[in-house]
Chain A
Amino acid sequence: ETGVTQTPRHLVMGMTNKKSLKCEQHLGHNAMYWYKQSAKKPLELMFVYSLEERVENNSVPSRFSPECPNSSHLFLHLHTLQPEDSALYLCASSQESSGLETQYFGPGTRLLVL
């Protein structure tokens, strides 16, 4: 498998549930990203990891908890979410965490919080 993959592709959860989103990149990259894409709003950068260390936490509520166990995998743990957290969550990776590097995106996880 190539590129950036995300699972699950769709997720429905209640506000009291705990779930996790998974991202895997097969490109040998060192940086990984989580973005939130809400309807008719610009993509919002949530977290950035470089060499498995978090280098950016963009004022994201603590109900979102990222984890990067190695350079190929990135998780987003979700708990006690709100309906306004419903969105498409996109994972991306790049060779390094610099603006010169192209970010490659996965297909996203469509999340619905009831």
Chain B
Amino acid sequence: EAQVTQNPRYLITVTGKKLTVTCSQNMNHEYMSWYRQDPGLGLRQIYYSMNVEVTDKGDVPEGYKVSRKEKRNFPLILESPSPNQTSLYFCASRSGILTQPQHFGDGTRLSIL
């Protein structure tokens, strides 16, 4: 089954404790992206990657890092999480064709205390 898998689904942690949210897709997609969803703000793009070793900033990259060492994986790293990063995070992927839709994971709810 074609899918985007995120882990963990839920995480409560404390300010400053480094964390990584993993994202993996099994569709051999070139393009992957991270979004955060906040009430009243919709989805905003954090980082994206157009292929292995190619990453770029989205609209709200501050406080986040990503890497794309393999095509299937695109982890999101919070080196020193802060409470304003409490949010619902989605990973997505699509083929290299711009007109194709993105496939989304089920989301990761992060609470930073």
A, B bound: no
Interface residues of A (CB under 8 A from B): none
